[in-house]
């Protein structure tokens, strides 16, 4: 019997996008047990990403037949493979009609948009694909969408995101990391940044040049562009990780989990999928109001012992979340046969 191939589809627009990073990390995870191919389904996909990770673009060949990799035989059929879409869908496109139907169709749902549910759950009559199986990346997201599916936390490389091997900064450094657009920032935080930097605390914000016309950088306030430093390297320069978003609600918030993996105490707004992982006062902190955030950070600035204890607990939490056993269990979902989805 021909060996199954898992095909992972994404737009692959950005080197720093959470959806792209999730697709790449998932592919790495699945390669431990089988063959994986990556496909960019957007005409605006990053050439650098495609070259770096061996991602193929979808192209229509002779007679409108999709060129679908070397595993396709002379008949153009790829066999009984599994298609995994990560934050990208197949609706309103031509190529799904000219490629072989998958054995399984899995959609990794990493948004909140109900429209995507309707686009991916109901197939056009001419598209004879199997029923969509959903993977959600947090209980928070699944509950809000009220749709059957399994919950797998967004994969990250715990071996890459490790604690800093250095003596703590003489003066604690507060920082955050995100994509560089306003939706990732809550403007109420500007007052906190001014307050902290005015008190001589170093504040480092990567992915925050979009704030330059609203807050002036200074000796203790650094606004860095998106991707200015590799995420793991940047996180290891911090002592406290602070996070709240604006209009963009994080379905998972992988950067928060990456900060926890680096043994940082995280202080995060309660609205987001990452809140499923944070136990307030044990492995991180959650807040509802700006004043609550101010009080939590104030205590962390004064107590290096608290920072160390919370950070160590955060690292242990992430190690358990991404243990070999947990990764193997999640991978088996993709490599195995279609199973009944969990309903909760």
Query: What is the domain partition of the chain in residue ranges?
Result: 5-155+323-335, 173-320
Q: What is the pLDDT of residue 60?
A: 60
Write down the pTM of the prediction.
0.85
Tokens of 38: 């990556």
Q: What is the pLDDT of residue 61?
A: 53
If we measure between CA atoms, which residue out of 21, 3, 33, 24 comes closest to residue 334? 33
Task: Give the model confidence (pLDDT) of 78-118 as tens digits.
Answer: 456 899 999 888 888 888 888 888 999 999 998 877 788 88
Segments of the chain scoring below 50 in pLDDT? 1, 62-67, 69-78, 338-344
Question: What is the C-alpha to C-alpha distance for residues 140 and 274, in angstroms, rounded to an integer?
Answer: 8
Q: What does DSSP assign to residue 102? A: P
Which contacts (CB < 8 Å, 24+ apart) does range 189-196 have? 189/242, 189/244, 189/290, 190/214, 190/215, 191/290, 192/242, 192/290, 192/293, 192/294, 192/297, 193/221, 194/221, 195/294, 196/220, 196/297
Q: What is the pLDDT of residue 76?
A: 40
Q: What is the pLDDT of residue 80?
A: 64
Q: What is the pLDDT of residue 237?
A: 96
Q: Which listed CATH number (2.60.40, 3.30.1490, 3.40.50, 3.20.20) goes with 5-155+323-335?
A: 3.40.50
Q: What is the pLDDT of residue 167?
A: 66
Q: What is the pLDDT of residue 34?
A: 84
In degrees to the nearest 10, what's the CA dihedral of 249, 254, 257, 262?
Answer: -130
Q: What is the pLDDT of residue 341?
A: 42
Domain 173-320 has CATH 3.40.50.2000: yes
Question: What is the C-alpha to C-alpha distance for residues 282 and 293, in angstroms, rounded to an integer?
Answer: 16
Q: What is the pLDDT of residue 344?
A: 38
Please indicate whether the domains covering 5-155+323-335 and 173-320 agree at the CATH topology level. Answer: yes
Cβ atoms of 68 and 74 closer than 8 Å: no
Q: What is the pLDDT of residue 18?
A: 83
């Amino acid at each position: 019997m021909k060996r199954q191939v898992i095909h992972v589809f994404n737009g692959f627009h950005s080197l720093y996008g959470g959806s792209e990073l999730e697709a790449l990390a998932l592919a790495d995870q699945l390669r431990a047990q089988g063959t994986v191919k990556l496909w960019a389904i957007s005409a605006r996909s990053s050439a650098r990403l495609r070259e770096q990770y061996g991602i193929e673009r979808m192209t229509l060949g002779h007679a409108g037949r999709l060129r679908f990799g070397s595993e396709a035989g002379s008949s153009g059929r790829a066999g009984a493979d599994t298609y995994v879409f990560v934050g990208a869908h197949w609706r309103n496109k031509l190529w799904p009609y000219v490629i072989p139907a998958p054995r399984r169709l899995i959609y990794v749902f990493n948004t909140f948009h109900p429209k995507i549910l309707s686009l991916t759950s109901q197939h056009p009559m001419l598209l004879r694909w199997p029923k969509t199986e959903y993977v959600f990346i947090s209980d928070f997201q699944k509950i809000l969408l009220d749709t059957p599916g399994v919950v797998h936390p967004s994969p990250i490389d715990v071996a890459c995101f490790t604690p800093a091997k250095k003596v703590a900064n003489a003066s604690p450094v507060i920082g955050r990391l995100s994509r560089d657009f306003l939706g990732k920032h809550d403007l109420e935080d500007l007052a906190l940044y001014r307050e902290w930097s005015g008190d001589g605390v170093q504040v480092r914000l990567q992915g925050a040049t979009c704030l330059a016309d609203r807050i002036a950088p200074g000796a203790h306030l650094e606004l860095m562009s998106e991707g200015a430093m590799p995420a793991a390297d940047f996180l290891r320069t911090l002592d406290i990780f602070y996070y709240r978003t604006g209009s963009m609600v994080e379905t998972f918030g992988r950067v928060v989990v990456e900060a926890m993996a680096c043994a940082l105490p995280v202080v995060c707004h309660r609205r987001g999928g990452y809140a499923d992982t944070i136990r307030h006062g044990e492995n991180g902190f959650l807040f509802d109001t700006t004043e609550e955030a101010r009080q939590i950070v104030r205590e962390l600035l004064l107590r290096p012992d608290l920072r160390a204890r919370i950070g160590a607990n955060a690292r242990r939490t992430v190690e358990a979340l991404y243990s070999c056993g947990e990764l193997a269990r999640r991978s088996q979902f993709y490599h195995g046969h279609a199973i009944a989805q969990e309903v909760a």
